[in-house]
Amino acid sequence: MSVNEIKIPTMADMSAAGDSPEVLFWVGCAGSFDDRYKAVTKAFVKILNMVGVSFAVLGPEESCTGDPARRAGNEFLFQMQAVSNIQVLDGYNVKKIVTACPHCFNTLKNEYPALGGNYEVIHHSTFLQQLIDEGRIRLKEGGAFKGRKITFHDSCYLGRANNVYEAPRKVIEALDAELVEMKRCRTKGLCCGAGGAQMFKEPEEGKKDVNIERTEEALATGAQTIAVGCPFCMTMMADGVKNKEKEGQVEVRDLAELIAESEGL
């Protein structure tokens, strides 16, 4: 890490200082609480620090977007969350949001407008791709990932739900890694099994768990790294890899972690 101490400004601090950031980093519940995904949050913040992006987080003022409640059918709870989040966001006059969670991304971008919350929302894969395109992140050729086989698992809420397919792939290609595709990818990508609030209950009875089916497909590519861009996919794929007893050989990593690693952060 650089000599400068890492900065994690909150909106409250910033607005107290009469300042406003370029972009709000919406951390999300998994990014705040889930042990594994907190590492992604940290990696992303390190990148923001390194590049010098003017950002802030809501910190303790952040609250669940309401996505899982809405998908499970609790529209009431969703709207309670959404309306109060919009009050907070509008209170700080937020214009642009970046998030490392496709579910937060989808909800903030597509569903808050109907309740009066209008923001420019992008997923961190797109954000990273833009930083790379602008030359603000320069990845060294022949870096840590040279020749490493990476497969990308499309998350439903990034891909089909919002048609973001290329940004994560461009990020992986920028790592100088070899991108290997699974049989079902892009529009045909197979869900990890956690969406639609499945994360928060046991699956229905069946022959197999969805994440096992997907993990088998990912392992079949021979990739050493399964790249994801979603906290739920992260959990499901990591569980799948564990189930197949491949933790030693295959890692499940978020795109931000890969960039941070290759930058030595």
Partner 1 sequence: MDYLPQILFLLVLAVTAFIMYKRISRIKSTIQLGRPLDRSDNPGERFKVMTLVAFGQKKMFKRIVPAILHLFLYVGFVLINIEVLEIILDGLLGTHRLFAEPVGYVYGLLINFFEFLAFAVIVACVIFLIRRNLLPIRRFKARELTSWPKLDANLILVIEIVLMLAILTMNATDQILQTRASDLAAAGMHAYPVTGALFFSSWLVPLFDGMNTQSLVVIERAAWWFHIVGIFAFAIYITYSKHLHIFLAFPNTYYSNLNPKGEMRNMDEVTNEVKMMLGMPVEGADQASPAEIARFGAKDINDLTWKNIMDSYSCTECGRCTAECPANLTGKKLSPRKIMMDTRDRAEEVGKSIASGGKGLEDGKFLLDDYIQREELMACTTCNACVEACPVNIDPLSIILQMRRYITMEESKAPASWNSMYSNIETSMAPWKFPPTDRFKWADDLKKESSTEK
Binders of partner 1 in range 82-111 (CB under 8 A): 83-84, 106, 109-111
Q: Does 146 bind partner 1 (CB under 8 A)?
A: no
C-alpha distance from residue 129 to each of 54, 171, 239, 256 (Å): 17, 6, 28, 11
Per CB under 8 A, 53 contacts partner 1: no
Here's the x/- map for partner 1, 114-143, by CB under 8 A: it reads as xx----------------------------
| Interacting span for partner 1 (CB under 8 A) from 24-32, 130-138, 174-182, 245-253 | 24-32
Residue among 18, 52, 147, 205 that touches partner 1 (CB under 8 A)? 205
Near partner 1 by CB under 8 A, which window of 118-126, 198-206, 223-231, 242-250? Answer: 198-206
- The residues near 233 (Cβ < 8 Å, ≥ 6 apart) are 153, 155, 192, 194
Separation CA 91–CA 9 (nearest Å) = 17
Of the candidate residues 15, 51, 53, 59, the single one contacting partner 1 (CB under 8 A): 59
- Hey, what are 177's tokens? 């890694």
Burial class (CB in 10 A: 0-12, 13-18, 19+), 241: buried
Segment contacting partner 1 by CB under 8 A, of 76-84, 120-128, 167-175, 251-259: 76-84
Interaction of residue 12 with partner 1, rule CB under 8 A: no
Please, which residue, 35 or 134, has the CB nearer to partner 1? 35
The correct pick among 42, 95, 149, 244 for binding partner 1 (CB under 8 A) is 42
72 binds partner 1 (CB under 8 A): yes
- Which CB atom, from 134 or from 207, has the smaller least distance to partner 1? 207
- Kind and range of the H or E element at 55? strand 55-57
CB 150 within 8 A of CB 179: yes
24 lines the binding site for partner 1 (CB under 8 A):
no
Element of type H or E holding 13: helix 11-16
Using alpha carbons, list the distances in angstroms from residue 38 to 85, 101, 143, 200, 213: 21, 12, 25, 19, 26
Which residue in the block uniquely carries the two structure tokens 């894969």?
Answer: 125
Task: Tell me how long the chain is.
Answer: 265
Query: What is the number of other CB atoms lying within 10 angstroms of the CB of residue 248?
Result: 7
Taking CB under 8 A as the rule, which mask of x and - marks residues 167-186 in contact with partner 1?
A: --------------------
Q: Residue 206, interface with partner 1 (CB under 8 A)?
A: yes
Kindly tell me which of 129 and 217 has the beta carbon lying closer to partner 1.
217
- In the complex, minimum distance from the CB of residue 120 to partner 1, in angstroms, rounded to a whole number: 15
Rounded distance, CA 81 to CA 63, Å?
7
Which one among 23, 24, 45, 255 touches partner 1, defined by CB under 8 A? Answer: 45
